[in-house]
């Protein structure tokens, strides 16, 4: 695997979230501490409704509809605002804009003049040069997520928050997107929320399982990500993770 | 092409049914004229119809333009201003409980017999559909896209202009298509209540003089104009939103 992204590790900060969260009168989590390691991928697994996406939205500074009491502190003590890039489960492409303008959406929304040459380079890196002036409706699901990835890269932020971005893709496309994302986001501080143990086993430098009791760390294979999907240690981790999730669900 | 053929077929069948009814019932022509008689009335009164149609078309187009612009501006204002939502929205909804037709005599009283009372009538009748369709579209922007925009450091104004407005264009298109059909109704009602020009006036006049064939001819001119206007507005709306498929 070639790491063509600049190495951000040295200057990329990590972030730690500590606190309690209430949604209406329901306590979603209590005294929780989530560390997202600098320049690495942290994968967050857990059952639906446990608050994974809420954690991600808190880090992104988005509305959660609840009450968070606690702190979100980056290693360099600077605010998180305007330092995160976000990718969701749906590609969130604007259907009226072509691929190029979708990649440049951030600049358009900030009223800046976009760096079109850079946008073209990123579109080339996700392999969509031939589709640069196409609208999203004419692209496949995998291509659309690649546009979304290029758009996230265009923002060039140290923190990248991924909320199940590959969940809706078919197995082959998902594996390809995982490889592309691992390559292009290398060196950034990434938090990936996922339901898929195999995804966490392939991509995670760190794996955290979130339950109603809180967060627990789960050991990752020794080899660095991204791991081949068919490597024995990937498969072992995937199975062990699955067992862990099931035993917790039954507990 | 297929659509055009279907349209001509449908029109042909309607004319044939109409002719059949006249033959079978033997209804006198001053109650229901046959298609040929209406066509003859159209040809022999062409100049008269043309003069009156011009007035009505002008009223409809002016009403459509002004009403659409006012509706769009209101929807944007409702979107921007919480105070407008609190104060204006209930009034807008309540105003729909007032039958617009009942306002026609008042408008004629205030604005006279000229074209303005008819334009305002058309404006009133299309203002609400345009406003509510566009406003609904503005509110229904994909929340995920709005979240993304916030993480990108977008301002409320750029979110409105560069995300909400383009995302709402299909809804605005629906509102404008409705407006294209409603505007002629508004103008003609205005003409019925009080006027000395326009197709609505000509219809009343023809009816009063038992010239039912001329009344039907006026009605057809109006109907064909409305169909063409609807098609043109539809094409414009489609061009606005060619991405929505």
Please indicate, yes or no, if residue A151 is contained in any of the structural domains.
yes
Give B141's contacts in chain A (Cβ within 8 Å).
none
- Give the nearest partner residue to B144 out of A88, A109, A111, using CB atoms: A88
Residue in B with minimal Cα distance to A112: B154
Judge contact between B202 and B211, C-beta under 8 A: no
> Which among A150, A175, A199 has a CA at the least distance from the CA of A43?
A199
What's the burial of B74, exposed, middle or buried (CB within 10 Å: 0-12/13-18/19+)? buried
CA angle B105, B109, B111 (to 5 degrees): 110
Could you list the mean pLDDT of each consecutive 10-residue stretch along chain A, which spans 251 residues? 42 90 86 92 91 91 90 90 90 95 94 94 93 94 93 94 90 90 93 93 94 88 90 91 84 68
pLDDT of residue B122: 95
Give B158's contacts in chain A (Cβ within 8 Å).
108-111
Please indicate, yes or no, if residue A168 is contained in any of the structural domains.
no
Residue in A with minimal Cα distance to B146: A92
pLDDT of residue B95: 84
Please indicate, yes or no, if residue A120 is contained in any of the structural domains.
yes
* Residues B181-194, mean pLDDT to the nearest whole number: 93
- Interface contacts A/B by beta carbons within 8 Å: 65
Residue A50: phi, psi to the nearest 5? -85, -15
pLDDT of residue A10: 53
> Which among A38, A140, A51, A32 has a CA at the least distance from the CA of A93?
A140
C-alpha B144/C-alpha A194 separation (Å) is 17
pLDDT of residue A1: 35
Enclosing domain of residue A137? 94-156
Give residues with Cβ within 8 angstroms of A150, minimum separation 6.
Answer: A103, A119, A122, A123, A125, A126, A128
> Which among A34, A69, A66 has a CA at the least distance from the CA of A52?
A34
Complete domains list, chain B, with CATH: 30-244 (1.10.3720.10)
Longest dimension (CA), chain B: 75
Residue B180 CA from chain centroid, whole number? 3
pLDDT of residue B93: 86
Give residues with Cβ within 8 angstroms of B87, minimum separation 6.
Answer: none
To the nearest whole angstrom, how far is the Cα of A84 from the nearest Cα of chain B? 7
Instruction: Establish if B143 touches chain A: CB-CB under 8 angstroms.
Output: no
pLDDT of residue A6: 45
| Residue range B81-135, pLDDT digits in tens | 999 999 998 988 888 888 888 888 999 999 989 999 999 999 999 999 999 999 9
Residue B97 CB neighbour total at 10 angstroms: 6
Q: Residue B158 and residue A96: Cβ atoms within 8 Å?
A: no
Please indicate, yes or no, if residue A237 is contained in any of the structural domains.
no
pLDDT of residue A81: 86
**Does the pLDDT at position B244 exceed 90?**
no
Q: Residue A86 and residue B151: Cβ atoms within 8 Å?
A: yes
Angle between helices B46-80 and B35-44 (to 10 degrees): 90
- Give the nearest partner residue to B162 out of A88, A109, A161, using CB atoms: A109
Judge contact between A23 and A212, C-beta under 8 A: no
Picking from B145, B149, B151 by the largest number of A CB atoms within 10 A of its own CB, the best residue to mutate is: B151
| Residue range B54-84, pLDDT digits in tens | 999 999 999 999 999 999 999 999 999 999 9
Give A90's contacts in chain B (Cβ within 8 Å).
144
A245 to A53, A225, A250, B164: CA distances (angstroms): 17, 22, 9, 40
Please indicate, yes or no, if residue A128 is contained in any of the structural domains.
yes
- Give the nearest partner residue to B162 out of A82, A95, A108, using CB atoms: A108
ipTM of the predicted structure?
A: 0.88
pLDDT of residue A132: 95
Please indicate, yes or no, if residue A170 is contained in any of the structural domains.
no
Please indicate, yes or no, if residue A144 is contained in any of the structural domains.
yes
Picking from A95, A136, A168 by the largest number of B CB atoms within 10 A of its own CB, the best residue to mutate is: A95
Instruction: Establish if B237 touches chain A: CB-CB under 8 angstroms.
Output: no
Give B153's contacts in chain A (Cβ within 8 Å).
81-82, 106, 109-110
Instruction: Establish if B162 touches chain A: CB-CB under 8 angstroms.
Output: yes
Domain count, chain A: 1
Instruction: Establish if B238 touches chain A: CB-CB under 8 angstroms.
Output: no
Residue in B with minimal Cα distance to A163: B144
Please indicate, yes or no, if residue A56 is contained in any of the structural domains.
no
């Amino acid at each position: 695997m070639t790491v063509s992204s600049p190495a951000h590790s040295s200057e990329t900060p990590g972030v730690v979230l500590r606190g309690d969260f209430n949604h209406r009168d329901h306590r979603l989590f209590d005294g929780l501490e989530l560390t997202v390691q600098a320049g690495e991928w942290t994968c967050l697994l857990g059952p639906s409704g446990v608050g994974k996406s809420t954690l991600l939205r808190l880090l992104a500074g988005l509305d959660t509809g609840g009450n968070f009491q606690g702190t979100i502190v980056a290693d360099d003590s600077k605010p998180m605002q305007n330092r995160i890039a976000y990718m969701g489960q749906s590609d969130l492409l604007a259907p009226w804009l072509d691929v190029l303008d979708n990649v440049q959406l951030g600049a358009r929304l900030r009223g800046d003049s976009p760096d079109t040459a850079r946008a073209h380079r990123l579109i080339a890196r996700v392999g969509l040069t031939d589709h640069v002036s196409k609208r999203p409706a004419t692209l496949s699901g995998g291509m659309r997520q690649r546009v979304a990835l290029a758009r996230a890269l265009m923002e060039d932020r140290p923190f990248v928050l991924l909320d199940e971005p590959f969940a809706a893709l078919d197995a082959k496309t998902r594996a390809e997107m995982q490889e592309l994302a691992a390559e292009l986001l290398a060196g950034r501080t990434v938090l990936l929320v996922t339901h898929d143990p195999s995804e966490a086993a392939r991509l995670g430098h760190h794996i955290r399982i979130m339950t109603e009791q809180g967060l627990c760390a789960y050991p990752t294979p020794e080899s660095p990500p991204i791991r081949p999907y068919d490597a024995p240690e990937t498969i072992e981790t995937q199975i062990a993770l699955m067992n862990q999730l099931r035993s917790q669900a039954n507990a | 092409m297929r659509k055009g053929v279907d349209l001509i077929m449908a029109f042909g069948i309607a004319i044939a049914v109409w002719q059949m009814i006249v033959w079978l019932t033997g209804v006198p022509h001053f109650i229901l004229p046959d298609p040929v008689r209406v066509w003859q009335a159209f040809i022999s009164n062409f100049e008269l119809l043309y003069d009156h149609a011009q007035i009505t078309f002008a009223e409809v187009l002016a009403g459509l333009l002004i009403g659409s612009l006012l509706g769009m501006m209101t929807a944007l204002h409702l979107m921007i201003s919480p105070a407008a939502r609190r104060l204006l929205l209930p009034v807008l909804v309540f105003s729909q409980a007032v039958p617009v037709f009942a306002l026609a005599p008042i408008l004629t009283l205030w604005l006279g017999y000229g074209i303005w009372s008819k334009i305002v009538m058309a404006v009133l009748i299309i203002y609400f559909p345009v406003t509510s369709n566009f406003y609904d579209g503005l509110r229904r922007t994909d929340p995920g896209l709005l979240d993304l925009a916030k993480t990108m450091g977008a301002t409320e104004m750029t979110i409105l202009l560069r995300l909400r407005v383009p995302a709402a264009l299909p809804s605005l298109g629906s509102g404008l298509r409705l407006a294209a059909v409603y505007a002629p109704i508004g103008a003609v009602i205005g003409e019925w209540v009080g006027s000395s020009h326009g197709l609505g006036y000509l219809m009343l006049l023809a009816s009063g003089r038992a010239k039912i064939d001329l009344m039907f001819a006026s009605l057809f001119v109006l109907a064909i104009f409305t169909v063409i206007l609807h098609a043109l507005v539809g094409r414009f709306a489609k061009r606005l939103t060619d991405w929505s498929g």
